[in-house]
Amino acid sequence: MKNILITGMSRGIGRATALACAARGAGLGLLGRPSEKQRESADLCLKAGAKRVLSLAADATQVAQLERAAGEFLDAFGAPDAVIHSAGIAVRSSIEATSVASWQEQLQINLSAPFVLTRALLPAMRARGAGRIVFVGSISSTLGTANLAGYCASKWGLIGLMKSLAAELTDSGLMTCAVLPGSVDTEMLVGSGFPPRMSAEQVAQTLVHYAFDAPLAHNGGCIEMFGT
């Protein structure tokens, strides 16, 4: 049985990914702020075939909460077979209209939280000599978009984090990569002006491939998804 930690599983890509992992009989740690949607995701995963589901309560802007949740996962499952960093937010506003608080929140959730969780889980994964860390980036990890400076900056930074981690994981038995979807049919796309080009389930299928099956030679890879 594979044991997977997934963030942002209350909706969209994160929930679709959790369900896809559940269908493969994984044990799941679902990390996010406690909510009815989180509880619903846990129930759906059990019905979909997950061997075990552990809901981990953490605010992605709070380092201590993230570290505690990582410790709870390690106590329950041991070193994860895969970590899928799916949580993210996007706030649409011009640079002049973007508050410092909004800027910082986007960087905390989209960039700092994956760093904190990876740092907390990596020693156990290294000790076992196996595991995969998959980041959900975006086409916005490669370009700039008007009124999305905070989101784009955080997603560009996420690729820098992943690439540096990949270099550190050489010959370790671990691998990391990032999946960069374009316009996905989720709540986050609403109001963007872009039509959906793919479903959350299609992105989830890709994430599960890299979390479960892809060769370790994909270490450091960025997998772009432009849609149809």
User: Please, are residues 46 and 53 in contact by the beta-carbon 8 Å criterion?
Assistant: yes
The Cα 224–Cα 210 span in angstroms is: 13
Question: Where on the phi/psi map is residue 155: left (φ > 0), alpha (ψ -120 to 50), or beta?
Answer: alpha
**Torsion, CA 28, CA 34, CA 37, CA 39, rounded to 10:** 50
Instruction: Single out the catalytic residue among 151, 154, 162, 220.
Output: 151
Mind giving me the DSSP string for 97-154? T--HHHHHHHHIIIIIHHHHHHHHHHHHHHHHT-EEEEEE--GGGSS--TTBHHHHHH
Determine whether 151 is an active site residue. Answer: yes
Catalytic residue IDs: 151
